[in-house]
Structure 1
Amino acid sequence: MASIVKFLVLFLLLAQLIENDAHKIDSQTEKQPKTIPAEDVPIGDQKVYNVLVVTLCLRGHINPASATVRALTDKDHKVTVIAIDSCKDLVTKSMPNIVAYHEMVLSHDFSASSSIIEVIPLMDEAFRVNFTIGMFDQLDDFIAKSPTKFDVLFGDELLCGVVVAGRKHNIPTVSQIIGPMFPTARTERPFLERSDLARENPSDKPSLRSVIGSALFDGLLEAAISYPLYKSLQQIHNNEGWEDVLYDYGRFPSSYIHRHSVLLSHGAPPISMKRGQQFENVQSIGFVPDDFMYPPLTTELSNWLEKADGPVVFISLGTIFVTSKEESKLLFDQLTSQDKFYFIWAVKKQVLVDLEISDTAFVSKRLFLGQYLPQGKILQHPKVKMFVTHCGANSMYDSVNAVKPMITFPGFADQPVISNVLIAEKVAKLLKKFTYQELEPILDEMLSEPSYSEMVARLQLIRDAQYKLGGNKKAVEVIEQMAEGKIVVNRTMASEDVHGVALYDVIAVCASIIVLIALMFIGLVFVCCRLCRKRPSQLAKVLKKKSSKTD
């Protein structure tokens, strides 16, 4: 039941990416792009390429995309950005040197405030409009009418519409993937050794309950998201006269985008993928933050940190994760009354409302609580020793970059997977309940020596690996090589090599249930046969006794 609730929360959050009214991208004439010559414009020995970027407005996706865009414009490439209109301010601030910005407003029949009963029947329609057919139709029209000849399309691991639009217009497509790469069917572990649910000891075999729960959750994702996307993509392929879409192991849109575009994988092994594992159509770019990603600390926060005379713990559950009013109040009371640690707690506005705090921040000797805190700079401060995180991919990279061990309190989607990866690498521990009573003994254990120094040393090795890959400079190199035809997409890779194997557990669970039912049936037949064999012999004995008495 918990898995189903997590999925529904995930779906409702995805619904926030869209608006209620449908408009074409080019419906507002004042937002038409500047005219750029179709041919590449050389600057010295360097060619300048026209890149069309399509981004989600979720900060976990737009932040890494904007870093790549800044790296592109630093090399004078011409970037046009299409995003949902609700993040225009964010786009223009984080991508200051783009050529043009456009809005894409996708139509649907519900909003993020709709009830679950209203949402469930509309899932198929929503995903078809948002990520495939609706997005493809608008991008197809935009590219056809644009005076700019785009050399590369840059999208996201969720946006199939970008990939199919690129294919139709013969434009190579690059898609960013923020979190870890799921294993392929070729490298997958046996059924009883795999679970995508958060665990205290991921290296141990998970419980059967955990495996089945993970498989059922995967099955729900396949039925509600993956299969509707597959049907929509098949419809586009049919209309365009392309080959049939392979369903393979499911996990749409991830598996389709892996097969039809080049993926820019953030991070480095072992947190982006298993050590030694290689994927077709994947370029690992690591993580190297620029100055824009890490704004400075405020004077108030900097002064508070300077006064702290003990270990500081940073708590942030991201921009989406929701805690209950009771959880927030309980932890607030506990953090302000304890005298062992110092805490910085980044919260959303709703938490301030729940705590009846009218200002944007609350400051006491032991707690600094506020909105929009500069996570990267906080983690880099020498007095900050630990990070309590929801395990969003960007938070993981920030913590690794700052070489700070983590306490994980994962939510949904890939967050439990990230938690398991970090714990397996012995740089984090799992927090089961969001309370100080649960947190305190974990902090005591992790901050003790030599445990803390050993975790820092392991994190340093991962950080070094991320820097060696180059970060967004490497991303720009990949985009340039795509534009020049030096890197091409392999659409014919074997099914066993495609990223994402959601159906692996689903099929395994179904097979296990069938085998279990079959064994139960065989056992029942065996028992019945034994009983049937015993009854005639017992009846004969009774008749024999009766006949002897008569005689």
Structure 2
Amino acid sequence: MLKVWSLGLFGTLIALVLFQSTNSLKVLGISSCYTGHVMPHSGIFRALVNRGHNVDLLMGGDCCETKMAKVFPNASSCNSVTIYGSHEIVANNQIEGLFSVRETFAENGTGVAFRETNKFLRENSDYDVIMTDFIILGAHIAAELTDVPIVAMYLGPFAFPLEGEEMIPLRSVFLPGLPTFLVEFIEIVGVLIYQLVNSEKVYEMVNDINSEFNMEPKLRNAGIRFFLPFVYYYYFANLIHMGPPDLFLSSLDFMKHKNNFHHVGYIPDEVCFQPLSAEVQDFIAKAEKPIVYMSLGTVFQMELSKLQNILEELASQTTYSIIWSASDLHHKQLKAFNVKGPNFLLVNKIAQLSLLMDGRTKVFITHAGANSLQEGIYSETPMLVFPGFGDQPFNAHQLVEHNLALPLVELSFAEISRKMELILSPEQNAQIRDSLKKSKNIMTSLGGFEKAAEIVEQVERGEIKVVDPPRLVDVAEMLYFMLYLFLGVLTSTVVLFFMGLYYCCCRKRTAKKENLN
């Protein structure tokens, strides 16, 4: 009897192993090398491996060696190619940053990414499913040339209203302190700059690719050319949407509509909690002031003179214990000034979520990048926001309007100090922490990396297909109308002003002549 039972158990184990091996997928993950993209992508890759799948990587720049080896060492293979560089955007203001993203989304993200991905897939075609980074639309279109199921991943806002819904501000800039009417005008101009400089270029490049490779011209047939590449995924691709939906969507009702976005929120796994360096741990242990952590991201670059000013101010202040994690380029430049202080630490690599989860970290000064935003919410850390470009102004607006953060009008210690007093006041701090908890509860209820991996499996099995979603408002067309209306009103006002001025001058001249007579 024991022998029969043992043979039965052995047979069951063999069957389970064979079942797992036959259901193991070969996945190709394609990503840029930006930290805000690598971190969420690697979490999904880890979840796929934990579910018994094999993941190959196609990464931009030297990402396999510099980043993926640390956060996803169990890739079956990792190929670093020029699919997409880690493009650093140098801009003195947010509008200038809008001009700079053309290289991010169009030249690199569409043109270069398509050529390199298409070349790779011609030589490596035995994949069951492909997962792409939303920023690399060209890679997604190259994958469409194969018969392999595809799913994209996006961490960031998608606040476009459906036809018939109320329009919300698109927040292309974040300029607290300026008059509302002026900010609204600059926002319209900013959105139109993005449309003309970037979206129209992506539209042309996609159509050229479609024509050259005899692909269906989806954008042209659908008459869609606004806010690419984001809107492309809404209409034509399955997309895993990460992050806090209460901030990233125009409303939570968006999740009720049948469309191609699959919301998974954010739940970090153990790899997200990297150990803090000995240097950082020692600084925290010796800190006698409230700890403030500042990170302005790895992409957006500021003028060196401005950075030097804030460096000297932070290093010499005695009110807080400040840790500044600067990008590699900024860190190298700032280190050269050799500015130090007992209440200041400058680093260029840090286990951000681990630091934020430390109860001694009281405030997070952030550029409002999507990955930093979701980590700030998950750790329930009150934030001060100073955004750069792209989705960051919108994210900053949402954080402030949802009472999760306070705005910085400028990056100076005087401004930081003013806002620190407000954010650490008992009443304000309690309100912000309560709002953070509510947002976190929504975000963590959606399944995180595990849910994303499940969606990848469902896409591969054909259980999730691309659907025809409700139409979006053509935001660009509407904003063109608003701009023309605004300029018309402005022109009329100027004309009326000068007509009134001319009339007054004429009356005075006439009155003067009458007096002389």
Q: TM-score, normalised by structure 1?
A: 0.76
Equivalent position of 1:315 in the other structure: 294
Report the Cα distance in structure 2 between the residues aligned to 1:138 and 1:194, rounded to whole angstroms.
33
Deviation digits for residues 381-419 of structure 1 (CA, Å, limit 9, x no counterpart) = 111110010111111111111100100001110100000
* 2:362 maps to 1:385: yes
Report the Cα distance in structure 2 between the residues aligned to 1:114 and 1:431, rounded to whole angstroms.
20
* 2:261 maps to 1:288: no
* 2:113 maps to 1:135: yes
* 2:197 maps to 1:224: yes
Equivalent position of 1:468 in the other structure: 445
| CA positional deviation for 1:303 | 2.7
Aligned counterpart for 1:75 among listed residues 46, 51, 55:
51
Equivalent position of 1:325 in the other structure: 304
* 2:181 maps to 1:208: yes
Q: Which amino acid aligns with 1:88?
A: C
| CA positional deviation for 1:51 | 1.3
| CA positional deviation for 1:310 | 3.3
Query: Are the structure 2 counterparts of residues 379 and 133 from structure 1 closer, same or farther at C-alpha, using a change threshold of 3 Å?
Result: closer
Query: Are the structure 2 counterparts of residues 513 and 49 from structure 1 closer, same or farther at C-alpha, using a change threshold of 3 Å?
Result: same
- 3-state SS, counterpart of residue 388 of structure 1: strand
Report the Cα distance in structure 2 between the residues aligned to 1:485 and 1:99, rounded to whole angstroms.
24
- 3-state SS, counterpart of residue 412 of structure 1: coil
CA contact (8 A) 1:285 1:475 kept: yes
More displaced stretch, 139-148 vs 342-351: 139-148
Report the Cα distance in structure 1 between the residues aligned to 2:148 and 2:194, rounded to whole angstroms.
30
CA contact (8 A) 2:404 2:435 kept: yes
Report the Cα distance in structure 1 between the residues aligned to 2:91 and 2:254, rounded to whole angstroms.
42
- 3-state SS, counterpart of residue 276 of structure 1: helix
CA contact (8 A) 2:386 2:411 kept: yes
Counterparts in 2 of 1:383-532, with a 5 A limit? Answer: 383-490=360-467, 492-496=468-472, 501-514=475-488
Q: TM-score, normalised by structure 2?
A: 0.81
Deviation digits for residues 328-380 of structure 1 (CA, Å, limit 9, x no counterpart) = 33323333333322211112344445445588xx8643112222122111111
CA contact (8 A) 2:103 2:109 kept: no
CA contact (8 A) 1:222 1:503 kept: no
CA contact (8 A) 1:313 1:344 kept: yes
| CA positional deviation for 1:422 | 0.3
Report the Cα distance in structure 1 between the residues aligned to 2:141 and 2:60, rounded to whole angstroms.
19
Listed as ranges, the gaps of 5+ residues in structure 2 are 1-16, 93-97, 504-517
Report the Cα distance in structure 2 between the residues aligned to 1:353 and 1:519, rounded to whole angstroms.
51
Aligned counterpart for 2:314 among listed residues 314, 329, 335:
335
- 3-state SS, counterpart of residue 345 of structure 1: strand
CA contact (8 A) 2:84 2:113 kept: no
* 2:42 maps to 1:63: no
Report the Cα distance in structure 2 between the residues aligned to 1:229 and 1:338, rounded to whole angstroms.
47
- 3-state SS, counterpart of residue 96 of structure 1: coil
More displaced stretch, 246-255 vs 438-447: 246-255
Equivalent position of 2:348 in the other structure: 371
Report the Cα distance in structure 1 between the residues aligned to 2:433 and 2:181, rounded to whole angstroms.
33
Deviation digits for residues 305-331 of structure 1 (CA, Å, limit 9, x no counterpart) = 123233211111111232333333332
- 3-state SS, counterpart of residue 233 of structure 2: helix
* 2:326 maps to 1:347: yes
More displaced stretch, 54-63 vs 400-409: 54-63
Equivalent position of 2:226 in the other structure: 250
Report the Cα distance in structure 2 between the residues aligned to 1:107 and 1:342, rounded to whole angstroms.
37
| CA positional deviation for 1:137 | 4.2
- 3-state SS, counterpart of residue 432 of structure 1: coil
| CA positional deviation for 1:221 | 1.7
CA contact (8 A) 1:201 1:424 kept: no
- 3-state SS, counterpart of residue 247 of structure 2: coil
Report the Cα distance in structure 2 between the residues aligned to 1:123 and 1:375, rounded to whole angstroms.
26
Counterparts in 2 of 1:160-175, with a 5 A limit? Answer: 160-175=137-152
CA contact (8 A) 1:153 1:162 kept: no
- The alignment of Structure 1 onto Structure 2 pairs a total of residues equal to 471
Listed as ranges, the gaps of 5+ residues in structure 1 are 1-40, 531-551
Q: Which amino acid aligns with 1:55?
A: S
- 3-state SS, counterpart of residue 210 of structure 1: helix
Q: Which amino acid aligns with 2:298?
A: T
CA RMSD for the aligned pairs? 3.5
Q: Which amino acid aligns with 1:276?
A: D
CA contact (8 A) 1:185 1:504 kept: no
Report the Cα distance in structure 1 between the residues aligned to 2:332 and 2:391, rounded to whole angstroms.
29
- 3-state SS, counterpart of residue 322 of structure 2: strand
Identity of aligned residues (%): 23
| CA positional deviation for 1:129 | 5.3
Q: Which amino acid aligns with 2:182?
A: R
Report the Cα distance in structure 2 between the residues aligned to 1:322 and 1:376, rounded to whole angstroms.
23
Deviation digits for residues 21-61 of structure 1 (CA, Å, limit 9, x no counterpart) = xxxxxxxxxxxxxxxxxxxx964498211211111111111
| CA positional deviation for 1:105 | 2.4
Q: Which amino acid aligns with 2:479?
A: D
Report the Cα distance in structure 2 between the residues aligned to 1:126 and 1:341, rounded to whole angstroms.
37
Report the Cα distance in structure 2 between the residues aligned to 1:127 and 1:486, rounded to whole angstroms.
30
CA contact (8 A) 1:198 1:420 kept: yes
CA contact (8 A) 2:60 2:84 kept: no
The structure with the greater share of residues assigned to helix is 2
- 3-state SS, counterpart of residue 177 of structure 1: strand
Query: Are the structure 2 counterparts of residues 291 and 115 from structure 1 closer, same or farther at C-alpha, using a change threshold of 3 Å?
Result: closer
